[in-house]
């Protein structure tokens, strides 16, 4: 039976309904980015991280990048000419691809841009590939696939939606080399200070890496969200969860041990303290794990500066002892006391000696400290606090600074256990060696507890904001000083710092 011909009235009604649908359903033609999205779209960096709170518009911004690359119609930056090969990777197929990515693509892609002018003709459910009229395509994958699935031919753009495992990130970056492609990452940092913080966020915000740009967005940056809805969503969350989910901030899951520590407040220029101050060396010994050795100095009015570190694994006691002696000689000062982890005094059942004994044979007499973790953390936090903090660390102590920013309390294995139990009073035993050495030092100096400083000593100068290299030539000065004092010269394999 033949279909009845459309009357003029029917055609006008269909046109009116189509126009109304287009007005009510946004697509790439009427997308209006908010301020943070615009900053993200305007960056020409090879790698772009859009880190934002929930509903801050990060996924939508990423999807628009995918569409503009596929169509060759990017309004802000130059993209490769179509056809482009694009890959979007999300957490999994059910909750990531089907519930978030596919609906976003269907919402924002005009049907005229798709092969055959329709979603059914353009999308292959079997291969999870969406093909455009110009032969560009978007391939959909997930982080729960095996690593070898991400190998193969090159891609012009890879979109990581939410934080990927590091091995998947690395494998996919390799797909960009042939065509000098780019990558974007749209994520909320709900998993804490993970590898993306060190490898992407820090280089993109502090390290001055021109190949990485970072945009940080708050839920409030999305003009389509009401304050009442935001407040209601955040009302039952912890302080750290609110930072991650509202502001898109990296927070340490389990809670930071040293929340008051900040580079802006506590990190100062490289310097050698006056020789008439009290000097200490504290040691956290390891073999497979690093041995951390710290040098500290205490001023007459109680200001403390940690000014040098040695941090190395898979080395013998003799090697570490030699390093300590070389550095003391370069400084021109023997410490007043060597402090260590009390467990170093435990004797070996076979040899009958201890690690402390081995150091003593090499003229480094170790004094066992108190390993009460809770008391030690409280002591360190005391020196971190105050209008004028009593403890500072020089910028060359990079391992200690790195650990102080990340050290966290141990967490329960899953969220259900966390809700049913009290928080742990145990530090998460990973990347804590320099921080432990610092704690051992403070636990043998109870006389330092007292009134806070009224002003910092003149010798303590803040490290210049944004500087990436040591602001003094202390390294050269110390090397020169040691060479002048040593008949045999300096062992260049043992760095002064």
* pLDDT tens digit sequence for 248-275: 676 655 567 878 888 888 999 888 999 9
421: number of CA atoms within 13 Å, CB side? 13
Specify whether domain 263-485 bears CATH 3.40.50.720. Answer: no
Instruction: Count CB-CB contacts under 10 A for residue 75.
Output: 11
Domains 32-222+240-247 and 263-485 share a fold: no
Q: Which SS3 state, helix, strand or coil, does residue 47 take?
A: strand
Residue 422 banded pLDDT, cuts 50, 70, 90: very low
User: Tokens 């976003």 map to which residue?
Assistant: 104
Q: What is the pLDDT of residues 105-146, one digit of tens each?
A: 999 999 999 999 999 999 999 999 999 999 999 999 999 999
Read off the pLDDT band of 229 (50, 70, 90): low
Dihedral angle of Cα 403, 193, 495, 391, to the nearest 10 degrees: -30
Give the closest residue to 483 by CA, choosing from 346, 330, 300.
330
pLDDT category of residue 477 using cuts at 50, 70 and 90? very low
Q: How confident is the model at residue 226 (pLDDT cuts 50, 70, 90)?
A: low
- Domain 32-222+240-247 CATH superfamily: P-loop containing nucleotide triphosphate hydrolases (3.40.50.300)
Domain boundaries defined on the chain: 32-222+240-247, 263-485
Say if residue 434 is exposed, middle or buried (CB neighbours under 10 Å; 0-12, 13-18, 19+): buried
Q: Mean pLDDT over residues 37-47, rounded? A: 95
């Amino acid at each position: 039976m033949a279909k009845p011909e459309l009357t003029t009235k029917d055609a006008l009604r269909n046109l009116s309904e189509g126009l109304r649908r287009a007005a009510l359903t946004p697509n790439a033609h009427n997308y209006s980015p908010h301020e943070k999205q615009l900053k993200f779209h305007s960056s020409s960096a090879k790698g772009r991280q859009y880190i934002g709170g929930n509903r801050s518009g990060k996924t939508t911004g990423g999807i628009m990048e995918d569409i503009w690359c596929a169509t060759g119609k990017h309004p802000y930056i130059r993209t490769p000419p179509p056809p482009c090969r694009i890959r979007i990777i999300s957490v999994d197929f059910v909750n990531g691809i089907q519930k978030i990515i596919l609906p976003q693509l269907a919402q924002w892609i005009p049907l005229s841009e798709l092969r055959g002018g329709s979603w059914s003709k353009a999308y292959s459910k079997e291969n999870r590939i969406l093909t455009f009229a110009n032969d560009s395509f978007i391939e959909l994958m997930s982080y729960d696939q095996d690593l070898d699935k991400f190998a193969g031919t090159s891609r012009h753009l890879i979109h990581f939606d939410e934080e990927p495992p590091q091995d998947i990130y690395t494998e996919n970056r390799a797909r960009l080399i042939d065509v000098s492609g780019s990558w974007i990452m749209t994520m909320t940092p709900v998993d804490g200070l993970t590898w993306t913080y060190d490898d992407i966020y820090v280089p993109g915000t502090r390290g001055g890496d021109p190949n990485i740009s970072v945009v940080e967005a708050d839920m409030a940056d999305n003009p389509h969200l009401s304050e009442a809805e935001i407040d209601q969503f955040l009302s039952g969350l912890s302080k750290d969860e609110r930072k991650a989910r509202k502001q898109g901030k990296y927070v340490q899951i389990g809670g930071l041990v040293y929340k008051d520590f900040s580079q802006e407040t506590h990190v100062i220029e490289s310097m050698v303290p006056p020789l008439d101050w009290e000097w200490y060396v504290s040691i956290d010994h390891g073999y497979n794990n690093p041995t951390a050795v710290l040098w500290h100095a205490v001023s007459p009015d109680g200001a403390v500066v940690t000014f040098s570190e040695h941090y190395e694994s898979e080395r013998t006691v003799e090697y570490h002892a030699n390093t300590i002696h070389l550095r003391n000689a370069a400084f021109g000062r023997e410490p007043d006391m060597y402090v260590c982890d009390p467990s170093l005094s435990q004797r070996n059942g076979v040899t009958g000696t201890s690690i402390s004994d081995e150091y003593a044979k090499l003229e480094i007499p170790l004094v066992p400290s108190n390993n009460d973790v809770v008391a030690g953390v409280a002591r360190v936090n005391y020196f971190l606090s105050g209008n004028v903090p009593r403890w500072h660390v020089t910028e060359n102590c990079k391992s200690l600074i790195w650990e102080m920013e990340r050290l966290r309390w141990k967490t329960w294995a899953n969220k259900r256990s966390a809700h049913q139990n009290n928080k742990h009073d145990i530090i998460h035993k990973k990347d804590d060696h320099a921080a432990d050495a610092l704690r051992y030092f403070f636990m043998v100096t109870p006389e330092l507890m007292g009134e806070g400083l009224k002003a910092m000593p003149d010798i303590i100068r803040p490290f210049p904001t944004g500087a990436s290299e040591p602001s003094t030539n202390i390294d050269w000065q110390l090397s020169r000083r040691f060479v002048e004092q040593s008949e045999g010269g300096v062992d260049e394999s043992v760095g002064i710092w």
